[in-house]
A = this chain, B = another copy of it.
Amino acid sequence: MHYDAPSAGWQDEGQSGIWKYQELLPPVPLNRRVYLGEGATPLIRSVSLEKRLGLGELYFKYEGSNPTGSYKDRIAAMGISWALAHGRKACIGTTSGNAGAAVAAYAARAGLPYHLFVLEHMAQTKLAQVLVHNAQVRRVAGFGTSPEVGDTVFSRIFEAAGLKDWEVMITAFRYNPYAMEGVKTISFELAEQLQNVPTQVYTAAGGAGLFVGVWKGFEELFRHGLLSAKPHMVAVQSAGCSNLVRAYEAGAEQPAPGASTSQISGLQVPNPPDGKVALSLMKKGDGSSLAVEDEAIWEVQRQLAEEEGIFCEPAGAVSVAGMMKALQGKEGNRSQRVVCVISGAGFKDSARLSAMTADKPVPLLPADGLDI
């Protein structure tokens, strides 16, 4: 592996994407920065929901335009660059889908082998997005159903990574805090795009890394005196996997136990690795948490596609569904400047796309009977 980032012309790759904010990221030499066009995602103002909810301003931070279609590309860009800078010879991890696609793309570009252990019953389409970048994938019997198998997989991964000096690319602050610093760039971009502080930022909370990372970004801007205030952060979960919400409501320090019954990929995390940190920042008043039913999430996914023109994956719509639940019927929304982070693109979940469109009529007409 002899990766050297190419030096470009005006748009130096080492200065674009997440590296626009290099002063606030872990240091990586210019020639080790792996760039695929991550970050600089659009901030899209609502044309429909804002009015319906009577909000002052409502924005969608659309992470689906990242190179592999989700915010995980920011983490992969940071983590793989970091791994290269530290001479790692490979990376290793697990994934439920989006993280794997992101790490596989950046590892391929960097010339690093990617050893990936996945659930026994991983969906074929999620698997394909990893395999296309030539990741070395192995399914593990019982992984995803047996907690003991999960423990075994994690301890084997960390053991092998330690012995071989590989980078552990599991997208949680608990497992790779350096890589996760990439998430902060969402907040940095938001502050620049709005030239202002949002009053509230809603994010999905599966493993809770997105929520913690966006909070951390605003926290750092605030502490450096670059922002005059911080937004209130809201972690939105599926009611079928609401371990943070229940712990938050009970004032607990650890996520509440309980299996996931949610059908939504990315939100099915019974034991969120960054849950404790998320709860601690809620406790000191920086955030809160609420849950919405899978059906409500799917309904909002449909509304976003039909009314706002934004087609996201179901896990990308949960932030918006949570915002609607929190604000509907409330007074005083006019004073609010709300951002919902839409974590990934609609194509990520092709089964859901089929389900959304299967019953829409597409009549077959004869050419001489085109009644327009």
**Which residues in A have some Cβ–Cβ distance to B below 8 Å?**
3, 5-6, 8-11, 13, 16-17, 34-37, 40-47, 50, 57, 59, 62, 64-69, 92, 105-111, 115, 117-118, 120, 124-125, 127-129, 131-134, 137-143, 146, 148-149, 152-153, 156-157, 159-160, 192-196, 305-311, 345-347, 350, 353-354, 356-357, 360, 362-368, 370, 372
> A365 touching B307 by the CB < 8 A rule?
no
A94 to chain B, nearest CB (A): 12
Residues in B neighbouring A34, C-beta threshold 8 A: 309
Ranked nearest first, the 5 interchain pairs of A and B with the lowest CB-CB distance are A37-B42, A109-B309, A10-B195, A160-B372, A347-B347
Distance of A50 Cα from B141 Cα, bound (Å)? 42
B194 and A115: CB pair below 8 A? Answer: no
Task: Report how far A37 CA is from B60 CA in the complex, Å.
Answer: 11
- Asked if A367 and B160 make an inter-chain contact with CB atoms under 8 angstroms apart, the answer reads no
Q: Which residues of B contact A141 (CB under 8 A)?
A: 364-367
Inter-subunit contact A115/B372 (CB<8 Å): yes
Cross-chain contact A133 with B9 (CB below 8 angstroms): no
Is the Cβ of B153 less than 8 Å from the Cβ of A370?
yes
Centre residue among A8, A66, A370 by max chain B CB count within 10 A: A370
> Contacts A125-B350, A132-B356, A133-B309; is A13 near B44 (CB within 8 Å)?
yes
A to B CB contacts below 8 Å, 5 in the list: A11-B195, A37-B65, A62-B67, A105-B305, A157-B372
Chain B residues, CB < 8 A from A115: 372
* Beta-carbon contact of B108 and A307 below 8 Å: yes
Q: Which of A115, A192, A362 has the most CB of B within 10 A?
A: A362
- Cross-chain contact A354 with B309 (CB below 8 angstroms): no
Question: What B residues does A110 contact at CB under 8 A?
Answer: 309
Q: In the docked arrangement, what's the CA distance between A310 and B45, Å?
A: 29
Question: With a CB–CB cut-off of 8 A, which chain B residues contact A148?
Answer: 367
**A106 to B, closest residue via Cβ:** B309
Q: Tell which of B195, B357, B367 touches A152, judged by Cβ atoms closer than 8 Å.
A: B367
Report the separation of the CA atoms of residues A367 and B148 in the bound assembly, to the nearest whole angstrom.
9
Alpha-carbon distance A309/B37, docked complex (angstroms)? 11
A37 touches B62 (CB 8 A): yes
Give the one of A40, A107, A146 with max B CB within 10 A: A40
- Cβ-defined contact, A138 with B365, below 8 A: yes
CA distance A153 to B366 in the complex (A): 10
Chain B residues contacting A367 (CB-CB under 8 Å) are 140-143, 146, 148-149, 152-153
Contact A362 B131 (CB under 8 A): yes
Cβ-defined contact, A152 with B368, below 8 A: yes
Q: Give the contacting residue for A108; candidates B306, B345, B365; CB below 8 A.
A: B306
Query: Is the beta-carbon distance between B44 and A36 smaller than 8 angstroms?
Result: yes
Please determine whether B139 and A363 come into contact, CB atoms closer than 8 angstroms: yes
